[in-house]
Structures are given as structure tokens and as C-alpha cells.
Amino acid sequence: ETGVTQTPRHLVMGMTNKKSLKCEQHLGHNAMYWYKQSAKKPLELMFVYNFKEQTENNSVPSRFSPECPNSSHLFLHLHTLQPEDSALYLCASSQDTGQGGGYTFGSGTRLTVV
Amino acid sequence: GENVEQHPSTLSVQEGDSAVIKCTYSDSASNYFPWYKQELGKGPQLIIDIRSNVGEKKDQRIAVTLNKTAKHFSLHITETQPEDSAVYFCAAGDSWGKLQFGAGTQVVVTP
């Protein structure tokens, strides 16, 4: 365990479904991130939250909707996804975005859109 | 913005040999360079990092070197073991904490 917990580990959903991914950290970090990892591609930054405020939305389609109720929890709400959205979704945290330090990643949610 | 290129994409080495992965970055403001190891079914885990005021850092069998002038940094793994088999990612970040990742290198260590 890295200290960043993601649930569920695996998710299969239809294109009309609505589901949510959850990320939780108790490392005392103030920044949290969502990344998309597709095969043979660099990690794609999706969203950044610092002290619960969204500081970056990397041109992510509106069918992905993040929520950060507090510094320890981060959600990614999914609706009307496309098959190309199938990927490993990774959550990460860091001390805060101004520190320039390393990230701690969760194990990811393997999402399959059918 | 920052662009990080990583080579090679796959690397097969004999157990006991050394492995070297190279990355280049474009943004001269980058001052933090971590390396991550991702094993099957897990998220990336930080294995070593280096800041721009240091040219080399070593931790047991792994070492990282940085050439700021050329905007190159490399990961060196010596005396490779089967458990070193994984995907390795380099990254470059600035003082704002944003990391840009390379595309990854699949390392396979054969006994």
C-alpha cells in the first residue's frame, strides 16, 4: 500500500451508465491528481486539485467530472463514456503543487467501456 | 509547455548486466526529475529523484545523472535482477509541482 487508495480496482460500464471512481489519501498531502494511462502512451494529466480547489483541467471532455470534497478525497464521476475512454485511471497526491516534489500514486482503476 | 522524451521504449537485459534509460526535456525551468517504477497491476512508485542543483545521485543499485546544459537525465540500474522487470517512467517538473512524464520503458530482465 502506498497510502493512496483507489476504488474500485476494476470497472466495466456501458456507454449510458453513470459511475464514480474514488481516491483517498491519508498522507497529509494537499494536492491530488487524476491521470489517464493508456497503452503505449505517456501518462495524461486530467485534473489537478490543490487545497480542494481545481487548479488545472487539461482539456478533459465534460463526460469526466471531478469532485474534491476535502484534501483527502477525490472523485471522478463518469457518464456517457466512449469505448476509447477505456484505460487505467490513476490518482496521485503530493504535498502541494508549489513544492515541486514527487507524487504518490494509487494502484489505479482499470476501466472498460463497452 | 514541457515535453519529455524517453528512450528506449523496450529494453531487454541479461540478469547481472546494467540497464540505462535516457530522457530529454525541453523546459529549462524544470528543476525536479523523478523516476517511477510501475509493476504489473500497480501504480507507478517513486524509486529515485534528483534536483537540478545536483549532477548525480545513487541509491544502492540505481543511480540517476543529470546534464542541465544538454537537458538530459538518465537512470542506471546495475547488477539487474528479475525483480527489476517493470515499466520505468521519467518525469520533469518545475517549481509549481507539475510533472510531465515520459512514455515509459518496458524493462525485461532475463535469467
DSSP-assigned states of every residue in B44-68: -EEEEEEETT-SEEEETTEEEEEET
Q: Could you give the percent of chain A with pLDDT greater than 90?
A: 73
Residue-level pLDDT at A84: 94
- Indicate whether A98 pLDDT > 70: no
**Best mutation target, B5, B98, B100, B106, to test chain A (most A CBs within 10 A):** B98
CA separation for the pair A39, B90 (Å, rounded): 16
- Indicate whether A56 pLDDT > 90: no
Q: Cα angle at A75 between A73 and A79, to 5 degrees?
A: 170
Determine the average pLDDT of the residues in A82-105.
Answer: 87
Determine the average pLDDT of the residues in B84-103.
Answer: 88
Determine the average pLDDT of the residues in B23-46.
Answer: 93
CB contact under 8 A, A100 and B31: yes
Mean pLDDT of chain A: 92
Assess contact for B54 and B76: CB atoms under 8 A: no
Determine the average pLDDT of the residues in B80-93.
Answer: 96
- Indicate whether B90 pLDDT > 80: yes
Residue-level pLDDT at A41: 81
Query: Of A98, A106, A108, which has the smallest distance from its Cβ to B97's Cβ?
Result: A98
- Indicate whether A5 pLDDT > 80: yes
Residue-level pLDDT at A9: 96
Three-state secondary structure call for residue B15:
coil
Between B97 and A62, name the one with better pLDDT.
A62
Determine the average pLDDT of the residues in B75-80.
Answer: 98
- Indicate whether A76 pLDDT > 70: yes
Determine the average pLDDT of the residues in B50-69.
Answer: 93
Mean pLDDT of chain B: 93
Assess contact for A90 and A37: CB atoms under 8 A: yes
Query: Of A40, A45, A108, which has the smallest distance from its Cβ to B43's Cβ?
Result: A108
Count A/B contacts: CB-CB distance under 8 Å.
58
